[in-house]
Chain A
Amino acid sequence: MMATKTCLVLLFDSTSEVLLAEKLFKRAGISYKIIPVPRHLSSDCGACIRVFASDKKRARETLDGVVDIRDICPID
Chain B
Amino acid sequence: MEKIIYMDNAATSWPKPEETIKAMAEYSHSIGASPGRSAHRMSLDAGRVVLDARESLAELFGVKNLLRVVFTKNATESLNIAISGLLKPGDHVITSGMEHNSVMRPLRVMEKSGVELSIIPCSPSGEMDPDDVGRSIKKNTRAIYLTHASNVTGTIMPIAETGKIAREKGVIFCVDAAQTAGAIPIDVEKMFIDILAFTGHKSLFGPQGTGGLYMAEELEKEICPIMTGGTGSKSESEEHPDFLPDKYEAGTANVIGIAGLKAGIRFIRSVGIETIRKKESELTAILVEGFKSIPEVTLYGCGDAKKQTAVVSFNIEGMDCSIVAMALDEEFNIMSRPGLQCAPAAHRTIGTFSAGTVRLSLGYFLEKDDIQAVLSAVEKLVQR
Residues of chain A touching chain B, judged by Cβ–Cβ distance below 8 Å, are: 13-20, 22-23, 34-37, 42-48, 66-67
Contacts and interface: CB of A to CB of B under 8 A. Distances in A.
Contacts, number: 70
B67 A20 contact: yes
B39 interface: yes
Nearest to A12: B233
B231 interface: yes
22 contacts: A13-B233, A13-B241, A13-B243, A14-B232, A14-B241, A14-B243, A15-B233, A16-B50, A16-B54, A16-B67, A19-B48, A20-B66, A20-B67, A22-B48, A36-B39, A37-B39, A43-B236, A45-B37, A45-B232, A46-B37, A47-B39, A66-B65
Contacts of A22: 48
B38 A36 contact: yes
Interface of B: 35-39, 44, 47-48, 50-51, 54-55, 65-67, 231-236, 241, 243, 245-246
A12 to B, nearest CB: 9
A43 B235 contact: yes
Contact of B39 (A14, A20, A35): A35
When A and B form their complex, which 10 residue pairs have the shortest distance between CB atoms, in order from nearest? A47-B39, A15-B36, A43-B236, A14-B233, A36-B39, A45-B235, A19-B51, A19-B47, A15-B47, A14-B246
Contacts of A14: 36, 231-233, 241, 243, 245-246
**At the interface, is chain B mostly helix, strand, loop or mixed?**
loop
B44 A19 contact: yes
Contacts of B66: 20
A46 B36 contact: yes
A46 B67 contact: no
Nearest to B55: A23
Contacts of A43: 235-236
A47 B51 contact: no
A34 B73 CA distance: 29
A37 B232 CA distance: 12
Contacts of A35: 39
Contact of B51 (A13, A16, A42, A66): A16
Contacts of B50: 16
Nearest to A43: B236
A44 B231 contact: no
A46 B232 contact: yes
Contacts of B35: 15
A39 to B, nearest CB: 11
Given A14-B232, A23-B51, 12 more contacts: A13-B246, A15-B36, A16-B47, A19-B51, A20-B67, A34-B44, A42-B236, A44-B234, A44-B235, A45-B37, A45-B235, A46-B39
Nearest to A48: B39
B213 to A, nearest CB: 15
